[in-house]
Amino acid sequence: MALSLGSSSSLSLASPFSALPGQAAKPPSISSSAAGKIFLNTKSIEKKHLRQFQKATKVLSYYGLTSPPYKLDALEPYISRRTLELHWGSIHRGYVDSLNKQLAKSTLYGCTMEELIKTTFNNGNPLPEYNNAAEIWNHDFFWESMQPNGGKLPWGGLLQQIEKDFGSFSNFRDEFVQTAITFFGSGWVWLVLKTNEKKLSIVKTSNAVCPLVWGDIPIINLDMWEHSYYLDYKDDISKYVNNFMDHLISWHSATGRIVRAEAFVNLGEPKIPVA
């Protein structure tokens, strides 16, 4: 689920499960004895993984590449398989590999991805690890912001919040599309929940900047780097954004994210009981 994006990408060094690159942590297997007691075979599993680890390369992997929650051709014809193969398989993976190489020589390991991003952003003087870490997080977020047969309208609380903060859904859609069309350079367009103003807002960031660094909570993002649309749309950004809004955007993920965000930001009116 989108909620645990941060932790799913970060695998701490403590457990040997996380030592092998690209592998998600597996729970220890449970075997039940004849008498109905359940044993956890953790010891044998740990030993097996440790042995595998020792045979594998000496490179420690701090963060893994998570795959999109759909096959690479699932977003056709709006985003082609080749684009995803390059975008996820080469570019996103490249960021993961670069970050792991950098962390091998730095003391910044052990954080969740979100903590790493905030730390390395360093209030606007980013450390070298920032670009890699933030781009990994942004791309993870982007894959989960899309789904096959997406688009259409949000519903329920999210739709109400959009209507409250933008006037209507079509206002929001127009503003999002306009922001993307007038985008210059490389970067991202976001629908964020601003924690201070307690409202949804559309922001654009350049290169790898992520609204997490300002304490805002992202709900949806759109990759405006040219590599994400050039093969499919060439320079027709308007078609790319409109297809994203109409056919790809995952309001399921967005709903999950705003539900989680409400634990941190009070969006409702306080109900004052009348005596």
Partner 1 sequence: MQHQVTSFASYGAFRTSTPPPPISPFSGAWRNKTRGIKTETGGTRLPRHAAIVAQLELKPLPYSLDCLEPHMTRQTLELHWGGHHRAHVVRLNNLIAGTDLDGKGLEDILLATYNKGNPLPAFVHAAQVWNHDFFWQSIKPNGGGHPSGKLMELIERDFGSFDTMLENFKQAAVTQFGSGWAWLAYKANKLDVGNAVNPCPSEKDNRLVVLKSPNAINPLIWNYAPLLAVDVWEHAYYLDYENRRADFVSVFVEKLVSWEVVSHRLRIAMEQAAERARKETREDDDEEATRSDAVEMYLDNESDDSETE
90 interacts with partner 1 by CB under 8 A:
yes
List alpha helices for the chain, DSSP H.
Answer: 5-9, 42-55, 81-86, 93-104, 113-121, 129-144, 156-166, 169-181, 230-233, 237-243, 251-261
Distance in Å, CB of 227 to partner 1, minimum: 5
* Residue 131 interacts with partner 1 (CB under 8 A): yes or no: yes
Q: 64-67 long-range CB contacts below 8 Å, 24 or more apart?
A: 64/9, 64/11, 64/18, 64/21, 64/22, 64/23, 64/24, 64/96, 65/22, 65/92, 65/93, 65/96, 66/8, 66/9, 66/24, 66/140, 66/143, 67/143
| Residue choice 48, 51, 71, 227 for contact with partner 1 (CB under 8 A) | 227
Counting contacts by CB under 8 A, is residue 237 touching partner 1? no
Nearer to partner 1, 37 or 105 (CB): 105
Q: Quick one: which of 80, 98, 201, 207 contacts partner 1 (CB under 8 A)?
A: 207
231 is a site residue for partner 1 (CB under 8 A): yes
Nearer to partner 1, 195 or 207 (CB): 207
- Contact (Cβ atoms closer than 8 angstroms) between residue 25 and residue 58: no
> What sign for the dihedral angle of Cα 65, 69, 73, 79?
negative
Judged by CB under 8 A, the number of residues near partner 1 is 18
Radius of gyration (C-alpha) of the chain in whole angstroms: 21
Q: Does residue 167 sit in helix, strand or coil?
A: coil
What is the spatial distance between Cα 101 and Cα 104, in angstroms, rounded to a whole number? 5
Residue of 43, 71, 152, 234 interacting with partner 1 (CB under 8 A): 234
Nearer to partner 1, 48 or 227 (CB): 227
Instruction: Give the residue, chosen from 235, 238, 246, 266, that forms a contact with partner 1 under the rule CB under 8 A.
Output: 235
The one among 60, 86, 127, 265 contacting partner 1 by CB under 8 A: 86
The minimum distance between CB 126 and partner 1, in angstroms, equals 10
Element (H, E) at 30: strand 30-32
User: Nearest-CA neighbor of 51 among 61, 41, 43?
Assistant: 43
Residue whose CB is less far from partner 1, 91 or 267: 91
User: Is residue 91 involved in binding partner 1 (CB under 8 A)?
Assistant: yes
In angstroms, what is the minimal distance from the CB of 82 to partner 1?
8
**186 near partner 1, judged by CB under 8 A:** yes
Smaller CB distance to partner 1: residue 74 or 231? 231
Report the interface residues with partner 1, using CB under 8 A. Answer: 86, 90-91, 131, 184-187, 206-208, 225-227, 230-231, 234-235
